[in-house]
Amino acid sequence: MPSPAAKRVSLAELQRRSSRSSRDIDEGATPTLRDLAEALSFSPDDGRIWLNDQRMVLWRSSTFGSLRAELIARLGQEQARSLLTRVGYAAGARDAELVRRTWPDSDPVNAFHAGPQMHKLGGIVRPEAIAFEFDIARGSFHADFWWHDSSEDDEHIAAFGLGTEPACWMQIGYASGYASAFMGKFIVYREIECRATGARACRLVGRPAEEWEDPELDQHYFAPGLSAAGIRRSLAGPAPAPAAGAAAKPGGALAAAGSGQSALLGISSSFSAARHLIERVAPTPATVLFSGPSGAGKELFAQTLHAISPRAGAPFIAVNCAAIPDTLIEAELFGVERGAFTGASSSRAGRFERAQGGTLFLDEIASLSFFAQGKLLRALQERRIERVGGSREIAVDVRVVAATNVDLRAEVRAGRFREDLFFRLNVFPIALPPLKERRDDIPLLMEAFLRRYGEQYGRRVAGFTPRAVQALLQYDFPGNVRELQNLIERGVIMAGPDEPIDVVHLFRGGEIEAPQGLSPGPDGRLTELRAPGAGVATTPPAGEVPARAGASAGAEDYLDALLAARYNVAAAARSLGLSRAQLAYRLKRQGLL
Ligand code: ZN
């Protein structure tokens, strides 16, 4: 038997395999155009059209045209373009996820090419690849397409005639969203020729965001409600502790914003809605209440709200109410006078006073005791506080922003939270979605954290392996953005120099378990269940273990099995015909665990 070292696949070999181009397209390999077409089913009796498990609609191109013309008339060309670009981006990212989920074993070239094919199937445009080349592990990407007979151009030309600007906005968004989700990094397409300007066909070129020379030129279309100037301002703005040089980097608006400690990053519709709300409320003094699960970015939103408000020049003071013992919370919030209690050897200001003129962020507000809630209510109503042990009232001009990860209404009903305080706080509620409901944002966040931790630890990391991208895009992230951030930080530390981050660098604590809808096929691999009505893979009888597996398997086989089992070591071991301990030992010996 060859030594494990000999079996281990060299990095150069993996990279050679991971670099793929349009020359490798195999028209007969899954998913073919026919496979994609078969995923589409019409169910006229109950008024449904399905693309696998996603409901679709069939509507007139001219209906889209009217909606689009109306948007341009109502919002102006820039806003309408931005909106359509983002809607297209979300659709592209979703299609990439659908392809990955439905054909998990397809060759990366065909999986990538499925994006343009789905556009063709949808009757939107007829893409023709001129050339594309990508390497997921190294993060390199270049694509060049002819875009024939775009429906968006037809509608644009019908409504506005020929012009000087390209018009395939939603399709630029779609192509960028598909490629970004596929690559696990932010890819931006540009339309360098367009039929709406009189060209014979449209031509789309895609590159990683940071490789475009003048990134603000089109990236602002991907950011909700922000002009290019606005993005530049927010990069240079007073938000606390941006990573050194982040604003000066040619990494592009969104990408560079992500490397700052405090930049909000996202493109999904739910994220955009929340972002839009803070932009609306920021100029006012209104109290804001953020709700959402832990790790969803409530403090980051609160910081951004402060940074774009007229109070930006004054302090932002954060208090985690759950972290301060009940006996001390009053002194923390309102300050103490010397001698007020044992240990109060000098007078000091509380958080309210320290936030004077600025913003006070009260996180985990529901954990305040009933007593402390009463004190806080008084401060909010009267805009005056009294230090503990003091007799003097101090006027405070503070905007209060609160956050909760529990349902405050339910707390009120249960008698644990004062109703009057709830109504004081619930002036402008903003709900932040869990990360699994904004998966479109994962590629942007992955790249931003990769860059941040690469800089922080002085490591050059090559990017992510395809299976790491796949794992991150499928994972449920119970810990939300914070968990993703932790995983990437861990990956940056674990991966070797110039080595792409792989699943074994990311998931070491058994985070991933086999999701429902997977079942082992006859070859020992787990197979994604098809949409309702499609074939279901069955469990092979015990003993029918594939001959290639087990003792003779190499590092790659182990990794494949781990991937197929969603990094559940026990399940991977079963599929290889090994015990869990045997597989764990082999993985360790090969430096894979
Ligand atoms: Zn066009």
Ligand 1: distance of its center to the CA of 151 in Å?
Answer: 9
Ligand 1: distance of its center to the CA of 77 in Å?
Answer: 15
**Where along the chain do its domains lie?**
4-235, 269-432, 459-589
The secondary element (H helix, E strand) that includes residue 519 is strand 518-520
Cα(215)–Cα(221) distance, integer angstroms: 11
Ligand 1: distance of its center to the CA of 168 in Å?
Answer: 4
User: According to the model, what pLDDT value does residue 524 have?
Assistant: 40
From start to end of 57-186, where are the E strands? 126-135, 140-148
pLDDT at 539 over 70: no
Tokens of 415: 């008698």
Q: b/e map of 285-311 (b: 16 or more CB within 10 Å)?
A: eebbbbbbbebbbbbbbbbbbbbbbeb
Tell me: the pLDDT tens digits for 224-277? 654 444 444 443 433 333 333 333 222 333 333 333 344 777 877 788 888 889
pLDDT at 201 over 70: yes
Ligand 1: distance of its center to the CA of 390 in Å?
Answer: 70
Cα(462)–Cα(464) distance, integer angstroms: 7
pLDDT at 328 over 60: yes
SS3 318: strand
Ligand 1: distance of its center to the CA of 100 in Å?
Answer: 28
CB-based contact 408:291 (threshold 8 Å) = yes
Ligand 1: distance of its center to the CA of 39 in Å?
Answer: 28
Ligand 1: distance of its center to the CA of 191 in Å?
Answer: 7
Ligand 1: distance of its center to the CA of 166 in Å?
Answer: 6
Ligand 1: distance of its center to the CA of 167 in Å?
Answer: 5
CB-based contact 442:484 (threshold 8 Å) = yes
CB-based contact 480:297 (threshold 8 Å) = yes
pLDDT at 11 over 60: no
Interval 100-110 mean pLDDT: 85
Cα(224)–Cα(81) distance, integer angstroms: 11
Please tell me the total number of residues recorded for the chain in this structure. 593
Name the residue type at position 113. H
Query: Hunting for tokens 């003094």 — which residue is that?
Result: 285
What separation in angstroms does the CA of 364 have from each of 330, 412, 438?
16, 15, 23
Tokens of 264: 């909000």
Ligand 1: distance of its center to the CA of 84 in Å?
Answer: 14
Interval 123-136 mean pLDDT: 93
Contacts of 342 (CB under 8 A, 6+ apart): none
User: According to the model, what pLDDT value does residue 240 have?
Assistant: 32
Cis peptide bond upstream of 315, omega within 30: no
Tokens of 24: 């490798």
SS3 116: helix
Ligand 1: distance of its center to the CA of 92 in Å?
Answer: 17
Burial class (CB in 10 A: 0-12, 13-18, 19+), 366: buried
Q: Which residue has the higher pLDDT, 104 or 57?
A: 57
Ligand 1: distance of its center to the CA of 32 in Å?
Answer: 26
Query: Which CATH fold topology does 269-432 show?
Result: Rossmann fold (3.40.50)
CATH architecture of 4-235: 2-Layer Sandwich (3.30)
Ligand 1: distance of its center to the CA of 164 in Å?
Answer: 11
Ligand 1: distance of its center to the CA of 203 in Å?
Answer: 7
Tokens of 67: 């909606």
Ligand 1: distance of its center to the CA of 71 in Å?
Answer: 18
Ligand 1: distance of its center to the CA of 376 in Å?
Answer: 57
For residue 192, give the nearest of 130, 145, 151 by alpha carbon. Answer: 145
User: According to the model, what pLDDT value does residue 537 have?
Assistant: 31
Q: Which residue has the higher pLDDT, 560 or 519?
A: 560
Residues forming beta bridges with residue 348, ordered by sequence position = 336
CB-based contact 560:572 (threshold 8 Å) = no
For residue 381, give the nearest of 368, 396, 367, 370 by alpha carbon. Answer: 396
Cα 585 to its chain centre, rounded Å, is 35
Ligand 1: distance of its center to the CA of 172 in Å?
Answer: 9
Ligand 1: distance of its center to the CA of 147 in Å?
Answer: 7
Residues forming beta bridges with residue 128, ordered by sequence position = 146
Contacts of 116 (CB under 8 A, 6+ apart): 127, 129, 145, 175
Q: Which residue has the higher pLDDT, 512 or 289?
A: 289
Ligand 1: distance of its center to the CA of 270 in Å?
Answer: 28
> Percent of the chain beyond pLDDT 90?
39
Ligand 1: distance of its center to the CA of 267 in Å?
Answer: 23
Ligand 1: distance of its center to the CA of 258 in Å?
Answer: 30
Ligand 1: distance of its center to the CA of 456 in Å?
Answer: 41
Interval 284-313 mean pLDDT: 93
SS3 591: coil
Ligand 1: distance of its center to the CA of 170 in Å?
Answer: 10
Ligand 1: distance of its center to the CA of 24 in Å?
Answer: 27
CB-based contact 407:273 (threshold 8 Å) = no
Residues forming beta bridges with residue 202, ordered by sequence position = 147
Q: Taking phi first (over 0 means left), then psi (-120 to 50 degrees means alpha), and beta for anything else, what does residue 217 get?
A: alpha
Tokens of 335: 């300050």
Interval 343-369 mean pLDDT: 91
**Banded model confidence at residue 519, pLDDT cuts 50, 70, 90:** very low
Residues forming beta bridges with residue 204, ordered by sequence position = 145, 191
Ligand 1: distance of its center to the CA of 144 in Å?
Answer: 14
Tokens of 191: 């339309």
Tokens of 1: 């038997």
Ligand 1: distance of its center to the CA of 195 in Å?
Answer: 5
- The model carries a pTM of 0.57
pLDDT at 132 over 60: yes
Contacts of 34 (CB under 8 A, 6+ apart): none
Ligand 1: distance of its center to the CA of 541 in Å?
Answer: 54
Ligand 1: distance of its center to the CA of 518 in Å?
Answer: 40
